[in-house]
Structure 1
Amino acid sequence: MPAPLRDVPQSVTVVTRQQMDDQSITSMADVVRYVPRVVFAQGEGNRDTPIFHGNASTADFFVDGMRDDVQYYRDVYNIERAEVLKGPNAMSFCRGGVGGVINRVTRQTNWRRIGEVKLEVGSDDHHRGTFDLGQGINDKAALRLTGLYQNSGSYRDGVDYERRGVNPTASFLVGEATQIQIGYEHFEDERVADRGIPSYQGRALLTGRSTFFGDPDRSPTDSRVDAVNLAIEHSVSDDLSIRNRTRYADYSKFYQNVFPGAVNTARTTVVISAYNNDTARETLINQTDLNYRFATGALTHTLLAGMELSRQETDNFRETGYFTAVGANTTSINVPVGSPRISVPITFRQAASDADNHGVAKSIAGYLCRTRST
């Protein structure tokens, strides 16, 4: 709802586009770097994992107020601001949200002429370019296009990252009181899953920062997102408006880890294991909001009433890595701490406990909320 932050009975931090540019922010972990009581975990080198007040979650992400709960690394090239809602009452934002939620607000057409190109070059073979172009065609239509390409290395041996994204949007005015916005995003993130270094007696193992434990050549991560968004807003009067939003998103993600486990007490060997996981998800969400503003005496009230309908279909498939050179059913090996990068044969196949799931989740929800101010 359109309400000042001071009237929202919740802890909310807004990270603006200007702050992202000033700090050269490119990831969600960087977005929350200076947000109190929110940190990011490693996410096994393949996903964003925020921790709100000690509660880790990969599902409490939203984009333009609609759920974006697939496990992948997000970028900020097409983001106008990020809203971080903290505390258990973040549950009021949507299902889940026990510790908090992060909502990304995307860049939309606004009839202003926009022309921006950014190029970055940095250490560890970092190369990144983004652009943001916008133009009003006439007083009834406007276009905007944002894009991204990144190809970077890492301080870790054998690790690299590649990202590609494009997000065209268009806005149309129908009459004097109705606006239609439509957008499409295609985003890809390909990288080596870097699980970091193992722990020893409760601390990080003392080793070179560039050391890779496992096999980077067989630890790929590939995430792809195709999403279409449609928003229609109609102003009935200065105090009453109706908005409908629809989002269809097709996600696919594959990742494979050849990664370290426990270090022995003598600090001479480390356990290496492997697995992979493939997830495909289609999400369709429709939201309808009615905002009404009215006054009683010296108080101004904003009333929000709405409904959300959603359908989510998910397929998930997992395989375990077997070190067949050691034994047909061997799922882990011990290698020297001083030489933890391996190249031994690994066969991936399903174990009895590995997932091979198909699920469909449907939801219908109504909500009513009121704020007031003087």
Structure 2
Amino acid sequence: MPSLLQGSGLKVVKRGPADYVMEKTGTAENMVLDTVAVVGSRISSDGYLAFSTSAGSKTDTPLIELAQSISVVTEEQLRDRQPSSVEQAVAYTAGVRVEAAGMDPRFDLISVRGYPTVYHGDFLDGLRQPNSGWLSYYSTVPYNLERIEVVKGPDSMRYGQLSPGGLVNRVSKRPSADAPQEVQLQVGSHNHLQGQFDVGGEMGSDVQYRLVGVMRDAQTDIEQVDNDVTLLAPTLHWQMSERTDITFITQYQERQTSASPRPYQDGDNLTHFWSGDEDFDKLDQEQWALGYEFNHRWSDQLQLQQNVRYGQVDTTNQYLSAGTLSGTTLSRSSVGLYEEMESLSADTRLMATFDQGKVEHQVMLGADYAYLENDVIYAGGSAPSIDIDNPDYSQPVAQPNNVWTNDSGETHRRGLYLQDQVKLDNWRLTAGIRRDWARDETRNNLTGTVSESRDEKNTWRLGALYAFDSGLSPYFSYAQSFLPESGTDVSGNDFDPTEGEQFELGLKYQPVGRETMLTAAIYQIDETNRKTTDIENPLFQVQTGEVRTRGLELEAVGNVTDDLRMTASYNYNRSEITADNDGNEGSDLANTPRHLASLWVDYRVPALERLHLAGGVRYIGSEYIDNANSNKNSAYSLIDMAAHYDFAGSLQGVRASLNATNVTDEEHISCEGIYCYRGAGRSLIGSIAYQW
């Protein structure tokens, strides 16, 4: 910056973390300056620490200035850990629980602060990835991501319907003039074979493109359960004019795995026997999506942004359900679920910046819309039994012909929101309000009946942060959430949405000149309008249930030294059922461990500076299997390790990597009520990549 301002009569003055202004130094000299090239880009990171995020505010705001807990898994973390799923990618993130239902390649089962995100907190590029509530989900391949943002706590003011725990926003790779290009081959445990590439370039002076592809042929801990993926994701950026640009983001994906990736359970005993059929048992999913991000700046003070995505998911889900065991013969029945789903998501924002004396405003007025339509057939049928001592996995199985469900559904979500981010000296203040309209309609194609529900809701967000020049930023925030509920009470009245609110008090510290951030937060989340048994009419429910969650969250991310970088986290999360008609008052929420901790360290060996050795440990505390707290899942720890070497000379750009998860092959079983699931065992994957 001094080179740019030489002779201009201006200087840069630091006012706070990530906050600089220009001031006059005197009369500018009348001289010719040397040419200096300036390349601009979004604030991000080349390492483990991200400096800004759009997920927490829908504006590019430095993390140190956001009055909210947000964790970011950077592209460098993704490259070092080589995750095969988003679950694996966020496993070392503060307040995040994964594998609550064991090893399951069908979807990413992620919980934030005790609340699952798979149904209502799954986002891609700032837009909701909706699901039908059956088995159609938009899945994401980590190799196509440049970062993953985890927003903690309620945030319906910006994103509409959400669970109180938060959301996970995946950010797709985009065209960039300086983006590295890469080809990679992986081989590993469970017959894992995966090839992937990431290439791009320029098409003239105004157009850039990028193409990401992945093809995986693999199995899982269960030999008969595949984990195959094919992905093709082209993106294109067009700089239409000096003030207008658009980025097209598309992807096509196929996924093949099992519809029942869990072994047979004999009473309380979870065996290692798989009771399915290799030809019949499958989850085949085909999905594609087409969208764009549009930006237009009328001036430096006024701009328009719009994100739009349309997508489809076709799902074939078939499995054999285990029945009774007689001797060594296990009876089975067939189940099939066939679904087509399409969705449209759009978010339009008008942003204006202006000053009122010493007060700087960044005002955002936004409107979003989400639409989902799905058709589902759910059926059952007969199937041959199987001998558990001498299984035949190739017996013919007829298609299920007893149709239990044939439904068509539509959901519409509309929202209008207003947010103001204020700077006053070192203060950073945020206030926002939103109005939502929700409509759901389901048609039973077997009976011809149609059910419809409508909801409207206001939500708020308030935040205050003081950014000391030293890099210390204490903050306080209040936020709300809501979720529409299905069903009716004894009088036939539609249930109201569940509501959530959070109070959070936190402290962030980013030492000046260091790529390190330390965060600490205490929070209280209250969820109301939960359904519980109607005491006077036990076959019905009322909305008098309540849950309170209190927690402490600690996280450290960044470079400890030039050779050592790390992520470390601890989360204490105490969830208590505070109102309930089922006798569970005072109990913990099911499958919500009170303690989570993790540590990942990457060390560059000084004597061999191109060699990195890394390792991590994840601790998941004990948890109750149901809301009655009748039994517990045991605590466990998992150890992961990794190493990579970057070659030089004629092999410049080549990286050899070795990644191992659950190195000790620790058996960990999680039960939800009467159903139990086994977590993923040891996995070892080696890869060779060439980047240029």
Report the TM-score range of the alignment, normalised by the length of the smaller protein: 0.7 to 0.9
- Equivalent position SS for 1:30: helix
For 1:370 and 1:198, how far apart are their aligned partners in 2? 54
Change beyond 3 A, Cα 1:77–1:155: same
State the match for 1:7 in structure 2: 65
Shift of 1:250: 1.4
Q: 1:57 to 1:2 in 2, by over 3 A?
A: closer
Which residue in the other structure is 2:361 paired with? Answer: 301
1:125 deviation in Å?
0.9
1:147 is aligned to 2:213: yes
Q: How far apart are the structure 1 equivalents of 2:126 and 2:161?
A: 12
Q: Deviation per CA, 1:277-319, whole angstroms, max 9, x where unpaired? A: 1121111222211222334555543322111123322111111
1:36 CA drift (Å): 2.5
Is the alpha carbon distance of 1:35 and 1:9 closer, same or farther for their aligned partners in structure 2, counting shifts above 3 Å? Answer: same
Distance 1:139 1:366, change over 3 A: same
Q: Which moved more, 1:270-279 or 1:229-238?
A: 270-279
- 240 and 247 in structure 1: CA distance in 2 versus 1, 3 angstrom threshold: same
Matched, 1:58 2:108: no
Q: What is the match of residue 329 of structure 1?
A: none
| Within-5 A mapping of 1:233-272 | 233-260=295-322, 272=332
- The residue identity in structure 2 corresponding to 1:18 is E
- Which residue number corresponds to residue 128 of structure 2? 67
Aligned to 2:88: 30
Shift of 1:86: 2.2
Written as runs of structure 1 = structure 2, the 5 A alignment for 1:331-370 is: 338=389, 346-349=397-400, 351=402, 354-370=404-420
Alpha-carbon separation, structure 1, partners of 2:85 and 2:372: 26
Q: Is 1:216 matched up with 2:291?
A: no
Read off the aligned partner of 2:350 and give its amino acid letter: L
2:229 to 148, 154, 163: 163
**Aligned ranges for residues 275-294 of structure 1 at < 5 Å?**
275-294=335-354
| 2:101 aligned to which of 37, 42, 62 | 42
Inter-partner Cα distance in structure 2 for 1:346 and 1:113: 50
- Segment of structure 1 superposing worse, 284-293 or 114-123: 284-293
> 1:100 aligns to what?
166
For structure 1, which runs of at least 5 residues remain unmatched after alignment?
A: 326-332
Secondary structure of 2:181's partner? Answer: strand
User: Does the CA contact (< 8 Å) of 2:336 and 2:400 recur in 1?
Assistant: no
**Separation in 2, partners of 1:30, 1:263:** 35
Q: Per-residue deviation at 1:350? A: 5.1
Q: Tell me the C-alpha RMSD between the 2 structures.
A: 2.8
**Structure 2 length normalisation: TM-score?**
0.48
TM-score (norm 1): 0.85
How far is the alpha carbon of 1:195 from its aligned partner?
2.7
Cα 1:79–1:312 change in 2 (3 A) is same
Q: Which amino acid is 1:304 matched to?
A: M
SS of match in other structure, 1:216: coil
CA separation of 1:150/1:79 partners in 2, compared to 1, >3 Å: closer, same or farther? same
> 1:113 Cα shift?
5.5
Aligned to 2:347, the other structure's residue is in SS state: strand
Task: Out of 40-49 and 113-122, give the one that drifted further.
Answer: 40-49
2: CA distance, partners of 1:350 / 1:367: 47
Contact 1:72–1:223, Cα closer than 8 Å, also in 2: no
Counterpart amino acid of 1:239? Q
Larger Rg: 2
Structure 1 letter corresponding to 2:67: P
SS in 1 for 2:61: coil
User: Could you say which residue in structure 1 is the equivalent of 2:381?
Assistant: 321
CA distance in 2, matches of 1:350, 1:110: 52
The C-alpha deviation readout for 1:61-81, integer Å capped at 9, x for no partner, is 111111112325421121111
Could you tell me how far apart the structure 2 residues matched to 1:109 and 1:131 are? 14
Matched positions, count: 358
Moved more, 146-155 or 83-92: 83-92
Q: For the Cα contact (< 8 Å) 1:229–1:246, is it kept in 2?
A: yes
Structure 2 unpaired stretches of 5+: 1-58, 132-136, 427-692
